[in-house]
Amino acid sequence: MDWRSLRATRAAHPEQKAALQVSDNFIAELLEANEIVLATPLYNFAVPANVKAWIDHIVRHGKTFSIGEQGYAGLVKDRKATFILASGGVYTPGSPAEGYNQGTPYLKAIFGFIGITDTKVLLAGGTTALAQGKVQESDFLQPLYAEVAAAV
Ligand SMILES: Cc1cc2nc3c(=O)[nH]c(=O)nc-3n(C[C@H](O)[C@H](O)[C@H](O)COP(=O)(O)O)c2cc1C
């Protein structure tokens, strides 16, 4: 599909214009920020559908990425992003479980695609044990507070 040809035909109907306005607003909000903090749970090893829907609105040809002779290029420059992923399980980097966490590589890839490559990841893994009372809230949060403090 040639995405460039879509520009001429989109937003012909009121519903399309309304959808485009949502996308425009999200993109304006994104571009206004010099640092993006995206906090999300992990659902079925990936980001939830509402986070994916937001991504589908902000990744737009001509706005946040371009297609040129050299291929794709991200247009959102000089910004940082921090991803905070809460998960029931624990996906420690280097552990056998790491590969199941598709949220981190996906967020890095899609933000990189629009030009945001300066990223940090905070993994808040183990919310199931917390919910089951196997871990005290303070014990769960303390290392995360330290990571947040180090990240800001
Ligand atoms: C639909 C659904 C799918 C989930 N899938 C995963 C998963 O694949 N891996 C995981 O570690 N946690 C999973 N969880 C747990 C969430 O990550 C967890 O709810 C989140 O960390 C927030 O914690 P809380 O529900 O105690 O507030 C899932 C939760 C829901 C509701």
What is the whole-number distance in angstroms between the Cα of residue 120 and the centre of ligand 1?
21
Tally the residues of the chain. Answer: 152
Distances (CA, A) of 87 to 100, 107, 126: 11, 15, 6
pLDDT tens digits in sequence order for the chain, 152 residues long:
566 555 545 668 999 899 899 999 999 999 999 999 999 999 999 999 999 999 999 999 999 999 999 999 999 999 999 999 999 999 999 999 999 999 999 999 999 999 999 999 999 999 999 999 999 999 999 999 998 888 77
Instruction: Please report, for the chain, the start and end positions of each structural domain, with discontinuous segments joined by +.
Output: 3-151
Amino acid residing at 131: A
Q: Enter the DSSP assignment of 147.
A: H
**pTM of the predicted model as reported, rounded to 2 decimal places:** 0.91
Report pLDDT for 105: 98
Report pLDDT for 85: 98
Pocket test of ligand 1: the residue of 40, 43, 123 to mutate, having most ligand atoms within 8 Å of its CB, is 43
Judge: domain 3-151, CATH 3.30.230.10: no
What is the whole-number distance in angstroms between the Cα of residue 96 and the centre of ligand 1?
19
Pocket test of ligand 1: the residue of 42, 91, 128 to mutate, having most ligand atoms within 8 Å of its CB, is 42
Report pLDDT for 3: 60
Nearest CA, atom 4, ligand 1? 43
Between helices 49-58 and 14-32, what is the axis angle to 10°? 90
Nearest CA, atom 29, ligand 1? 43
Report pLDDT for 10: 60
Residue 140's Cβ-count burial label (10 Å; 0-12, 13-18, 19+) is middle
